[in-house]
Each structure stands twice: as structure tokens, then as C-alpha cells.
């Protein structure tokens, strides 16, 4: 099966992103920087890059965990078994990303939707779990600091159970 011409694939990608009303920029030929809106993770930034043989997908999920690395990595490896088209990886700094690759001949609207949906479901859906596993001490410290100053705890409410004396 022959692959569509580069311009055709860029149009397929742009049309798919436009149809879903996703914000994106095109910093160069075959390169799309997409912002996926979330609920737990407010936004997930995702690169879509056309190469001669594939569409590469990469999204930043969270920075290097401060603690509990074994549990974080166990979670990521177990989660990889249930993901479609992308998988978790870490970069040289230990930051967590989702990466994947789609063969050029499979770059169609439905596949773009499925891959971006999976990126969003994983990055947004796993975000609080990753924060709980890898940043519990920092969350507790931030909670105490805000509480001592009468600051809002609204955006930490999902982590109330991590604070001592809570369920």
C-alpha cells in the first residue's frame, strides 16, 4: 500500500485537529504542536511529527518524580499493557512522556482520533495517580504551607486523603 503524499498527510492531520477544535501550531513542515484540554491535568501538549515512514507522537505527562520511583515505574509498566498506540517512557532527566508511532498508511482521521484520545485519557486520567505516587511529600508540604497562610486548597482537594489525619 503506498503512502499518501506529505502534503496530503499534513492536510489529513490539520483537518482532523480542526474538526475536533483542538488548538495547535505548525512550527515546521510535517510538525504539529497540539494542546489537548484535560480536567485533572489542565492541558497536555503533544507533538505530532510526520517522518518518511510514520507519524510520531510524543506528549509530556509529568516531571521526574521526587520519590517512590519503584512504585511509579511499576504503575507505568502495568499501564503500558492497557494502552493503544502509545506507551509510557522516561527521558534522560527522568521526566515521564507518552510516545508512539503510527505507520504513514494508517494516518487517517479515525486513527488520529483514537491516538489523541488515548494520549488524553492516559495523561489526564493517570495524572493524579502519578502525583500521589511520586510527589506525596511535596503535596503534603504545599498543603501545610497554604493552610498556614489561609491560602486556597481548592486545586489540592483531590489529594486531601494524603494529608495526615484525613481518610
Q: What grid cell was written down for 52?
A: 518518511
Distance from C-alpha of 95 to C-alpha of 163, rounded to nearest angstrom: 25
Residue 109 lies in a domain: yes
Give the whole-angstrom CA distance, residue 65 versus residue 35.
Answer: 23
Q: How would residue 167 be classed by pLDDT, with cut points 50, 70 and 90?
A: very low
Domain membership flag for residue 154: no
Residue 29: inside a domain, yes or no?
yes
pLDDT, tens digit, 9 for 90 and up, residues 70-123:
999 999 999 999 999 999 999 999 999 999 999 999 999 999 999 999 999 999
3-state class (DSSP) for residue 54: strand
Q: What is the pLDDT of residues 4-37, one digit of tens each?
A: 565 799 999 999 999 999 999 999 999 999 999 9
Domain of residue 70, residue span: 6-135
Whether 140 maps to a domain, the answer reads: no
- Total domains present in the chain: 1
- pLDDT tens across 132-149, in order? 999 999 999 999 999 999
Q: Does the pTM of the predicted model rise above 0.85?
A: yes
- Give, as one character, the DSSP assignment of residue 36: E
Amino acid at each position: 500500500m503506498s503512502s499518501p503524499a506529505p502534503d496530503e498527510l499534513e492536510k489529513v492531520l490539520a483537518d482532523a485537529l480542526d474538526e475536533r477544535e483542538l488548538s495547535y501550531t505548525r512550527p515546521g513542515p510535517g510538525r504539529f504542536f497540539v494542546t489537548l484540554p484535560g480536567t485533572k491535568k489542565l492541558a497536555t501538549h503533544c507533538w505530532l511529527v510526520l517522518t518518511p515512514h510514520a507519524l510520531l507522537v510524543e506528549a509530556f505527562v509529568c516531571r521526574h518524580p521526587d520519590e517512590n520511583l519503584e512504585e511509579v515505574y511499576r504503575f507505568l509498566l502495568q499501564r503500558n499493557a492497557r494502552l493503544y498506540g502509545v506507551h509510557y517512557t522516561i527521558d534522560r532527566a527522568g521526566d515521564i512522556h507518552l510516545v508512539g508511532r503510527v505507520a504513514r498508511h494508517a494516518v487517517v482521521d479515525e486513527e488520529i482520533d483514537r491516538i489523541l484520545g488515548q494520549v488524553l485519557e492516559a495523561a489526564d486520567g493517570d495524572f493524579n495517580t502519578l502525583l500521589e505516587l511520586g510527589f506525596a511529600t511535596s503535596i503534603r508540604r504545599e498543603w501545610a504551607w497554604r493552610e498556614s497562610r489561609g491560602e486556597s486548597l481548592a486545586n489540592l482537594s483531590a489529594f486531601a486523603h494524603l494529608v495526615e489525619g484525613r481518610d
